Amino acid sequence: MVALTLPEEVVRGLRRIDEDIAWAIVHMFEQEALPAQAGNGRQPDAELVTIGEGRSLIVVNRTVFRHLPGVHIIPLSDTRAFLALEPGRGMSDLELAVVDRLDDRSLPPRERDGLERLQSQLREWRRDPRLRFNTRAIIEVQRAVRRRRGRATKPHR
């Protein structure tokens, strides 16, 4: 047992993570400690990244995951991206997309390894009673690329 004295603002912040302060501390520990353990200091291929108020996105290494059927891989940086599903799809569809992709026998070993770890991670997250999955629509805005004469063209993918 550990007794702590914390400022009220810290207690309020912890309660935004979990109503039970002890579980909030455990969750914060898992968010910080487990990714570092996953790959000897490198970022894991898939992780839950907190975006605020107890909400997270599934963020992946986009150098490993380039294509999942029915899933948009939305870039955040050169190596990180979050997953967005087609309208009407949910967590089970994401898991099925991973399974379907694993059926491709021509996958490079690095991608296969990453997909197998993602499949395991998705199963673990789905079974975690502290996690709830909600599907939301996102709005992605792309700037048009201008040609020399000033005409807007479609962005390149």
Query: Left, alpha or beta for 9 (phi > 0: left; psi -120 to 50: alpha)?
Result: alpha
Please list the ranges in the chain whose pLDDT falls under 70.
1-2, 29-41, 148-157
pLDDT score, position 144: 86
Give the residue extent of every domain in the chain.
1-41, 43-138
Contact 55, 40 (CB under 8 A): no
Phi then psi dihedrals of residue 68, to 5 deg: -135, 125
pLDDT score, position 94: 95
pLDDT score, position 139: 83
Token pair recorded at residue 55: 């909400």
Phi then psi dihedrals of residue 52, to 5 deg: 125, 155
Burial label, 68 (beta-carbon count in 10 A; 0-12, 13-18, 19+): buried
pTM exceeds 0.85 for this model: no
Q: Chain-centre distance of CA 84, in angstroms? A: 9
Contact 12, 2 (CB under 8 A): no
Residues 6 or more apart in contact with residue 48 via CB below 8 angstroms? 31, 56, 57, 58, 59, 125
Contact 62, 70 (CB under 8 A): no
Amino acid type, 40: N
pLDDT score, position 21: 82
Contact 101, 107 (CB under 8 A): yes
pLDDT score, position 132: 93
